[in-house]
Amino acid sequence: MHTLSIKQLGEALRARKFSSRELTQHYLKRIETLDPQLNSYITVTADLALAAADAADARLARGEGGPLTGIPLGQKDIFCTTGVRTSCASRMLDRFISPYDATIVKKLQAEAGMPMLGKLNMDEFAMGSSNETSWYGPVKNPWDVSRVPGGSSGGSVAAVAAGLAPVATATDTGGSIRQPAALTNLTGIKPTYGRVSRYGMIAFASSLDQAGVVARSAEDAAQVLQAMSGFDPLDSTSMDRPVDDLVAPLGRSIQGLRVGLPREYFAEGLDAGVRACIDGAIGELKKLGATFTELSLPNSPLSVPTYYVVAPAEASSNLARFDGVRYGHRSAQAKNLEELYEKSRGEGFGPEVQRRIMIGTYVLSHGYYDAYYLQAQKVRRLIYDDFRRAFEQVDVILGPTATDVAFKLGAKTDDPVSMYLNDIYTIAANLAGIPAMSLPCGFKDGLPVGMQLMGNFFDEAKLLNVAHQYQQVTGWHTQSPKGFE
């Protein structure tokens, strides 16, 4: 059952070939047996999942099921889920039981009828590219358990790649959906900023964060993203515009599609093996009728520096709420209010989170604001303008997602800057706010390689269409890691 697509699962459930309860139990059993090797789940919600599965079965029996009814999912542990621990993979929220549901949780679970298998592991407060900063331990890559799955949505991708969930939600602030998807042979999409509600999604960097999906195919991703998207009055950054049909256009031909190749993304620094896979994909897309143009995104090299000013600055503000007063970890050692704040935060946050809070505090402080933060905001505008100009010439932009395949656990933990450089190709899309996705395009030394597609604002349907057409003529995305088939 875990090898079926969302479409096939939906058809089987509606035809009552098996029940949602059976399907959910199947995944729960796999999680129990296989997840100890991966550590992809922080909290498994077996009872809730089965109760939701029964409710889904009742809807299906009444003939009221939708395309996702009864299909289980994993939720990245950054989304608030009522009555269930929502930890953000941090000691700060280890005992935080959320009193409310995130909007996407309501949409996917209560409305679409997807039972939640559990809360998925991640880098602490979404800060990381390897899922090694989690309070609950690192996640392993099912393709090679001595390697990282990528981050911050490492649990989401490990679970889906290993067949421990058919699909999972994830979030992307600097590449945290796309990079781990690339490292685990999955299709991951970050929608346009404002497309999916951030209400109930624990904030890291409010102008960059977006919720999205990791799935085994573009077709699967489209179904779930469709259900997640839409205006939410509870999120002041939610765009009030109708959601396009993401599923119907999947079947369109891409004859005449204009694809841009940014020269800055194909410079040195890109591994030759990765390059070879991308070149193969370009060949396939040409056969489908796409035309390619080289273009320039001249401010690309400034993406990482810009991000590592803007994101920590916003994080330092967003994480100020964790002070030991109203929720979360409170230090037992505090003798006065000052110590309550300092010790609760010092004890509750891991080193990467502390580093980022300090960078953010520094760049926003008096005397440094203009040189760092204001300058970064201006460079952000330059990066945004590069994309606006590019989309006057092309429909989509193609490039690598990550610089190389999955690295070994521990390889980059001593040097934050080398870890940050993993996001070199993904960050610009968050700064500009455009939609972007990663999909499998080959293997290097037995490890998955992903390619990235970036689209114009609100053009998720086009991205998914291109990805789906590519996946109709290639089989990379159908492969599964050994030991998890």
Partner 1 sequence: MSLSPEQIRQVAKLARLELNPSLTEAYAGQISNILELVGQLSAARTEGVGPMAHPLEMTQRLRADEVTQPDQREAFQAIAPAVQDGLYLVPKVIE
Q: Under rule CB under 8 A, how many of the chain's residues touch partner 1?
A: 73
Given 266, 292, 384, 484, the residue binding partner 1 (CB under 8 A): 384
Active site residue 152: yes
362 forms part of the interface with partner 1 (CB under 8 A): yes
Q: Which is nearer to partner 1, 25 or 207 (CB)?
A: 207
Q: For the window 17-36, what string marks contact with partner 1 as x by the rule CB under 8 A?
A: --------------------
Q: Which is nearer to partner 1, 338 or 445 (CB)?
A: 338
Q: Which is nearer to partner 1, 111 or 415 (CB)?
A: 415
The stretch near partner 1 (CB under 8 A) out of 11-19, 43-51, 127-135, 303-311 is: 303-311
The stretch near partner 1 (CB under 8 A) out of 18-26, 126-134, 157-165, 316-324 is: 316-324
The stretch near partner 1 (CB under 8 A) out of 41-49, 264-272, 275-283, 365-373 is: 365-373
Subset of residues 85 to 124 that bind partner 1, contact rule: CB under 8 A: 96-97, 99
Given 293, 325, 393, 478, the residue binding partner 1 (CB under 8 A): 325
Given 110, 248, 267, 374, the residue binding partner 1 (CB under 8 A): 374
Active site residue 317: no
Active site residue 140: no
Subset of residues 230 to 249 that bind partner 1, contact rule: CB under 8 A: 233, 236-237, 239-240
| Integer angstrom CA distances of residue 379 from 3, 66, 199, 312, 451 | 45, 44, 28, 16, 26
Query: What value, to the nearest 5°, has the Cα angle with vertex 427 and ends 424 and 430?
Result: 170
441, two tokens: 């395009």
199 forms part of the interface with partner 1 (CB under 8 A): no
Q: Residue 267 class from Cβ within 10 Å (0-12 exposed, 13-18 middle, 19+ buried)?
A: exposed
- Active-site residues, by number, are 76, 152, 176
